[in-house]
């Protein structure tokens, strides 16, 4: 069973700060309605529309929100944490929808190359990586094993690319917490300035208990790792630059990917496509093999992903 979740990285600006030890959350309005009565803190909506509600919570209560979404709704994410109210309210604007870039052509014309790499994907490699990541007691963003697990992913990806001088694998160190994100870059041969991102979150949820997070989200990172293995073994040389990312601190409000997105905006990086893999191991609440998220994602890219699934996965 596979669910593929695509998500655009949301970009926003910093402004008036939350009280010390507090965060503003922009949360999916439907999710908020479902969970608000189960939260001990009984948070009030500061502003909302049918898609997004903004609330303020203490840091410890952010973890309560995350835990309830996982336990009661059997899903991951659904909210972003912010230091400022203005930044949180960016999520209320329709304009944050990813614009369709008319210069991007979505065509399927590389069947021979792609089919060879798809046929080479090995289930046992994905299982092994899930097991190795799950063996960390937790991959929580402030824990020692959370820090170590990101270094393990970086070393694993670097080993797969050790014969390639056009590939680098780096740790992206964050400002407010010790766990790093991982970024692997394959430089494009014809359009190196145009960037395609394939990512998933590397952290897991708990700092107090064992949190192997095999499905959420060792599975996504393991799938990405096997894609990297196949691309490297087939000596794949992309025309555009491809970046593989393992995000730190997703479970507490997408901190890792937010900071990376801001750093990309600061230097005006041209990101032409983003896909995120989350919970690719376990069948969730819907009776589907693969699910594409349709809010805050690019419609044209989603259509293209659907056609790619028909062409190569056939489910
Ligand atoms: Zn997840």
**Local confidence pLDDT in tens for the 315 residues of the chain:** 344 443 333 333 334 677 788 889 999 999 999 998 888 888 888 988 888 999 999 888 888 888 888 888 878 888 999 988 988 888 777 655 566 677 788 999 999 999 999 999 999 999 999 999 999 999 999 999 999 999 999 999 999 999 999 999 999 999 989 999 999 999 999 999 999 999 999 999 886 788 999 999 999 999 999 999 999 999 999 999 999 999 999 998 999 999 999 999 999 999 999 999 999 987 766 778 888 888 778 888 999 999 999 999 988
Q: Which two tokens stand for residue 306?
A: 């659907």
Cα torsion 89, 94, 98, 104 to 10°: value is: -160
Q: How far is the CA of 131 from the centre of ligand 1 (A)?
A: 17
Predicted confidence at residue 285, as pLDDT, reads 63
> 245 phi and psi, to 5 degrees?
-130, 140
3-class SS at 8? coil
Q: Are strands 270-276 and 191-201 parallel, antiparallel or unpaired?
A: parallel
CA of 187 to the centre of ligand 1 (A): 28
Distance 288 CA to ligand 1 centre (A): 18
Task: Evaluate whether 56 touches 88 at the Cβ level (below 8 Å).
Answer: no
Our CA angle for 263, 268, 271, nearest 5°, is: 90
Q: What is the pLDDT of residue 55?
A: 93
How many angstroms does the Cα of residue 6 sit away from the middle of ligand 1?
12
Q: Which two tokens stand for residue 99?
A: 């614009």
What is the Å distance from ligand 1's center to 35 Cα?
A: 18
CA of 113 to the centre of ligand 1 (A): 30
The ranges of the chain annotated as CATH 3.40.630.10 are 111-313
Length of the chain: 315
> Could you tell me the distance, in angstroms and rounded to a whole number, from the CA of residue 57 to the centre of ligand 1?
21
The CATH number of 111-313 is 3.40.630.10
Straight-line distance from the first to the last Cα atom of the chain, in angstroms, rounded to the nearest whole number: 10
Long-range contacts of 112-118 (CB under 8 A, 24+ apart): 113/234, 113/236, 114/312, 115/312, 116/234, 117/230, 117/231, 117/234, 117/236, 118/230, 118/312
Strands 47-48 and 22-28: unpaired
Question: H or E stretch including 89?
Answer: helix 85-89
Which of 232, 234, 202 minimizes the C-alpha distance to 132? 202
CATH code of 22-96, in short, is 3.30.70
Cα(223) to ligand 1 centroid in Å equals: 13
CATH 3.30.70 residue ranges for the chain:
22-96
Rounded distance from Cα 200 to ligand 1 centre (Å): 8
> Residue 217 gets which letter from DSSP?
I
């Amino acid at each position: 069973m596979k669910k593929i979740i695509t998500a655009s990285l949301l970009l926003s600006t910093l402004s008036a700060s939350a009280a010390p030890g507090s965060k503003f959350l922009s949360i999916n309005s439907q999710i908020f309605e479902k969970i608000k009565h189960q939260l001990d803190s009984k948070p009030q909506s500061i502003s909302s529309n049918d898609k997004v509600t903004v609330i303020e919570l203490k840091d410890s209560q952010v973890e309560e929100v995350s835990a309830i979404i996982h336990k009661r709704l059997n899903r991951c994410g659904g909210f972003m944490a912010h230091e400022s109210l203005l930044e949180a309210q960016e999520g209320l604007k329709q304009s944050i929808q990813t614009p369709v870039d008319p210069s991007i052509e979505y065509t399927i014309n590389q069947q021979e190359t792609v089919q060879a790499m798809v046929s080479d994907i090995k289930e046992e490699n994905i299982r092994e990586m899930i097991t190795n990541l799950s063996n960390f007691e937790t991959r929580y963003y402030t824990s020692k094993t959370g820090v170590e697990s990101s270094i393990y992913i970086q070393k694993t990806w670097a080993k797969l690319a050790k014969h390639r001088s056009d590939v680098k694998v780096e740790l992206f160190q964050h400002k407010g917490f010790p766990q790093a994100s991982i970024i692997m870059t394959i430089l494009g041969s014809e359009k190196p300035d145009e960037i395609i991102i394939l990512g998933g979150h590397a952290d897991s949820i708990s700092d107090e208990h064992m949190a192997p997070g095999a499905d959420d989200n060792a599975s996504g990172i393991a799938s990405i790792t096997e894609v990297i293995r196949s691309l490297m073994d087939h000596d794949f040389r992309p025309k555009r630059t491809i970046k593989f990312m393992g995000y730190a601190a997703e479970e507490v409000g997408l901190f890792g990917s937010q900071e990376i997105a801001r750093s990309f905006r600061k230097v005006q990086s041209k990101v032409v496509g983003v896909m995120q893999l989350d919970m690719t191991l376990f069948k969730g609440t819907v009776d589907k093999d693969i699910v594409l998220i349709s809010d805050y994602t690019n419609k044209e890219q989603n259509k293209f992903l659907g056609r790619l699934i028909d062409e190569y996965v056939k489910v």
